Amino acid sequence: MSETTGSKTVRPAALRLGARLAVLSPASTPKPERVQRGLDWLQALGYQTVLSGHALDRGPLYYAGTLEERLADLHAAFADPEIDGIVCTRGGWGSAELLPYLDADLIHANPKAFIGYSDHTSLHCWLQNEANLVTFYGPMVAADFARDDGVDLPSWTQCLEGATDWMLGATDGLRVLQPGVADGLLLGGCLSILAQSLGTPYAARTENSVLFLEDIGTKPYQWDRILLHLRYSGRLDSVRGIVFGNMEQCVSAEEADLLERAILHSLRDFEGPIAIGLRCGHVSAPNITLPLNVRVRLDLSNAENPQLHFLEAAVKG
């Protein structure tokens, strides 16, 4: 694995309206009708879309094609000079299979916006580790663009068109669990995928970060258990602040208080600010886009006005 700490951050080109987006499935098979709805919305917004050759493949198992086919689609999207950005159809399972075979030289030579969440956390980590690339934990074609209210367009635009000074706050779901202020690189993604990367050559970076964590179907005791795993692994030692996602896809309203108490129990020795509720990732409301590997300030000094402040542009041009 390449050492990227201290090296120059690579920002992909901005994705303005008219940009040409490759739509692909590095993991599980999407439903074709949902992909078409998502493509229709992207096109209505003014983007051009190109559906990759194996994006709708069914099998083997639950995969959208063989490892070789999914890998070929991803490499082709990075290599094609007419493709401006890459958007995944859905998550599921399968992205981690690609990691040993990704062509670092190809991707270094052709950095592009990569957009997806959930299982694609493994690809975000690889792109950050190997290329120090800014990536986007954001809406997917079949999962979010297929829903009438699936995408938070303000954050999508701020991220992908190059805003340099913007923030998310209480109206975006952010709430204070533990006050404080912290600056760092915004890193993270799906909790279970991040934890499963430990002990592999593809382990997630967390050093000097404001760490974003979210998941689906993860109960309070499981959050407690996995956070303990991250603590024991040393992955939280230099984390400066933590932002948890919206938990409605993990627990019922009746369990929300237990979940928050479980998190605070597991992080009882963590001194930095802790927020919860950010509407990003596995959500049933408009999905917020987060740029990963950019500098942010998490200011939770005022419970009535929590702020995740983005200090630099995520894209160039």
Residues with a catalytic annotation lie at: 118, 214, 282
DSSP string spanning 273-301? Answer: -EEEEE--SS-SSPBPPEEESSEEEEE-S
The one-letter amino acid at 254: E
CA angle 88, 89, 90 (to 5 degrees): 95
* Dist CA 62 CA 73 (whole Å): 17
- How does strand 295-299 pair with strand 181-190? antiparallel
Among candidates 22, 156, 23, which has minimal Cα distance to 89? 23
Strand order in the sheet with 295-299: 166-168, 307-310, 295-299, 181-190, 209-214, 241-245, 274-278, 175-178
Counted residue by residue, the chain has a size of 317
Among candidates 249, 234, 258, which has minimal Cα distance to 284? 249
* Dist CA 241 CA 275 (whole Å): 8
